[in-house]
Amino acid sequence: MNIIEQIKETFFKHLKQLYPNVDTASIMFGINTDDKKQNFGDISTNAAMVLSKDLQRSPRDIAQQIIETFNDKHVKELQIAGPGFLNIFLQSEVYTEILEQLTKNQEHFFVDRPEKPVNYSIEFVSANPTGPLHLGHGRGGILGDVLGNILSFLGNKVTKEFYINDAGNQMQKLGLSFKIRCQQELGQHVELPEDAYHGEYLMDLAKIAVSKYGDKILEKDESFFTEYAEKHMLDMIKKTLSDYGIEYDVWFSEKSLHASDSVKRALKKLDADGYTYEQDGATWFKSMQFGDDKDRVLRRANGEVTYIAADVAYMEDKFRRGADHLIFILGQDHHSYVNRLQGILQATGFGNKPLDVILYQLVALKESGQTLKMSKRAGNMVTLREIIDLVGTDVARFFYLNRKADTHLDFDIDLALKKTEENPVFYLQYAYVRIKSILEKAQENKELRDINLKDAEHLTPSEHILLKKILSLKELLKNIGSNFQTHLLTYYILELAQLFHSYYNKNRVIDMDNVPVSRARLLVLEQLQRTFELVARLLEIKTPEKM
């Protein structure tokens, strides 16, 4: 527990002693990191305003009572602001202690290891292996990847999973489309059906295959074309995601569920528990019983099982592998899946296990101020591979994450390509490089070497703001661990960069006319550098040596 958390605990204990029968759960206790509002104290709380409803008293009267009765050696002063906010001013010694805790604990400072770590299964992207990943997949990919990084950093076990939809009609359609492309490559006049896969990627693949097998390729059976295309499509997906910075723990094949009779066993269990019925020769899941808008077919009249049946078996498999908490990252067009997945969870007997579905909105590509129109058909589908190759992995990851998942995202190509401070990735990486450069330059002066905690006694209020922003990362990561709002981490690192640039423009860090203050400032910059490196690692973006 750091010193700010100790102050918070003391404050809330005091509230409970003053007002034993009131609920303090919704009271905010926030660190003030706005350099333009430092006159509002180091910490602000709405405690008096929240308590006024239960106590039937004026917020300012309650605030005054708290001021008169609260005592903590780390608190210099409490002030009432506006209708009843309380602003808390800390003793300067608090910042020395914060620096000491940061220096001794480093990254452990930002996390309280859970008594019982949670085993999270996060499934994301899970595109059909029938073609390259498109523009929108980049958003689902970064949401799942960064969330997994944060949950793991917080001390949990995380399994990142890609569910390969390699069973069903779409795979046969892929094989047929690929075979026709091979026939066309060999000069035959064969047209693709309307519902086939028309992308040029199969034409490219056909060139490779024909160059290897020649016209004898057409002597091969249908399964060859399906398996050949599937393997190459999946390899392409894996390469794109790896270049995007995503490495999965599990690539799970839907076909394996059918091969192991897992689907049959799952359907048999649902039937035995009374969650299925027969109608028109098909087997149905009573999903309306669990809030779905209609019941869903598990097995068609022709005996084929549906993807929903496979979902049941797959969910059971995750729990058998030890998952405590399931998280699915899905596009907004999958919103109907939410009730369905919750229904499967209940019906399979795992209703006590948490399941969260994060839905993300569409991505639009902007260039020269115009939104580009795209379609999956033919040649005007923008792939994730193209985005990565064009703007780079760091920019792609950051731009995809730098908006709340449930809001529309415009991916601005012009901005992404800029090498100026307008580009947020350039802006934050420049802040890091500038900090690193200052620390390296300081080593050229003997008087600025061997910085240690004794130098903290010369901190000024300007450094206090930086330390408070560093400190606030712990609470932020804790919140993301419960609300899964990963975009907040991009907001944080941009705010940290902005705060540093502002600080740098106002303060001389290396000042040989005032060595004690310079040493204190360098001490803070060392912690700032470590914080940038930690956040960048969680986001998996680079911290360059030079720019």
Burial of 294 (0-12, 13-18, 19+ CB in 10 A): exposed
pLDDT band at 512 (very low <50, low <70, confident <90, very high): very high
127: nearest Cα among 113, 112, 139, 114: 139
CATH topology (fold) of 420-539? Isoleucyl-tRNA Synthetase; Domain 1 (1.10.730)
- Residue appearing with tokens 């991505």: 363
Predicted confidence at residue 192, as pLDDT, reads: 92
Digit-coded pLDDT (tens) for 133-173: 999 999 999 999 999 999 999 999 999 999 999 988 899 99
Judged against a pLDDT cut of 80, whether residue 374 lies above it is answered with: no
Distance CA 111, CA 2 (A): 10
The DSSP result for 65-130, as a single string, is HHHHH---TTEEEEEEETTTEEEEEE-THHHHHHHHHHHHHGGGGG----SS--EEEEEE----TT
Tell me the whole-structure pTM to 2 decimals: 0.94
Amino acid occupying residue 458: H
Distance CA 234, CA 297 (A): 28
Residues 6+ apart with CB under 8 A from 474: 2, 109, 110, 111
Report the range of poorest mean pLDDT among 372-381, 448-457, 516-525: 372-381
Cβ neighbours around 129 below 10 Å, total = 22
Judged against a pLDDT cut of 80, whether residue 381 lies above it is answered with: no
Predicted confidence at residue 378, as pLDDT, reads: 44
Predicted confidence at residue 440, as pLDDT, reads: 96
The SS3 assignment for 426 reads helix
Amino acid occupying residue 466: L
pLDDT band at 337 (very low <50, low <70, confident <90, very high): confident
Residues 262, 316 contacting (CB under 8 angstroms): yes
Six token digits for residue 124: 């994301």
pLDDT band at 370 (very low <50, low <70, confident <90, very high): confident
By DSSP bridging, strand 119-124 and strand 75-81 are unpaired
- pLDDT > 90 in the chain, percent: 89
Report the range of poorest mean pLDDT among 195-199, 479-483, 516-520: 195-199
Judged against a pLDDT cut of 60, whether residue 377 lies above it is answered with: no
493: nearest Cα among 426, 437, 447: 426
Q: In what order do the strands lie in the sheet with 363-367?
A: 370-371, 363-367, 409-412
Distance CA 84, CA 106 (A): 37
- pLDDT > 70 in the chain, percent: 99
Residues 342, 286 contacting (CB under 8 angstroms): no
Judged against a pLDDT cut of 70, whether residue 376 lies above it is answered with: no
Burial of 341 (0-12, 13-18, 19+ CB in 10 A): buried
Average pLDDT, the chain: 94
What does DSSP assign to residue 383? B
Predicted confidence at residue 333, as pLDDT, reads: 86
Predicted confidence at residue 371, as pLDDT, reads: 80
Judged against a pLDDT cut of 90, whether residue 379 lies above it is answered with: no
Distance CA 315, CA 449 (A): 57
Region 299-319 average pLDDT: 93
Domain 3-91 has CATH 3.30.1360.70: yes
Digit-coded pLDDT (tens) for 55-92: 999 999 999 999 999 999 999 999 999 999 999 999 99
Predicted confidence at residue 282, as pLDDT, reads: 95
Residues 525, 439 contacting (CB under 8 angstroms): yes
pLDDT band at 375 (very low <50, low <70, confident <90, very high): low
The SS3 assignment for 17 reads helix
471: nearest Cα among 82, 127, 42: 42
- Residue appearing with tokens 């799952």: 266
Region 359-373 average pLDDT: 87
Judged against a pLDDT cut of 60, whether residue 233 lies above it is answered with: yes
The SS3 assignment for 7 reads helix
Distance CA 305, CA 168 (A): 9
Judged against a pLDDT cut of 60, whether residue 298 lies above it is answered with: yes
The DSSP result for 235-291, as a single string, is HHHHHHHHHTT---SEEEEHHHHHHTTHHHHHHHHHHHTT-EEEETTEEEE-GGGGT
Domain boundaries of the chain, sorted by first residue:
3-91, 420-539
Predicted confidence at residue 101, as pLDDT, reads: 93
Judged against a pLDDT cut of 70, whether residue 313 lies above it is answered with: yes
The SS3 assignment for 180 reads helix
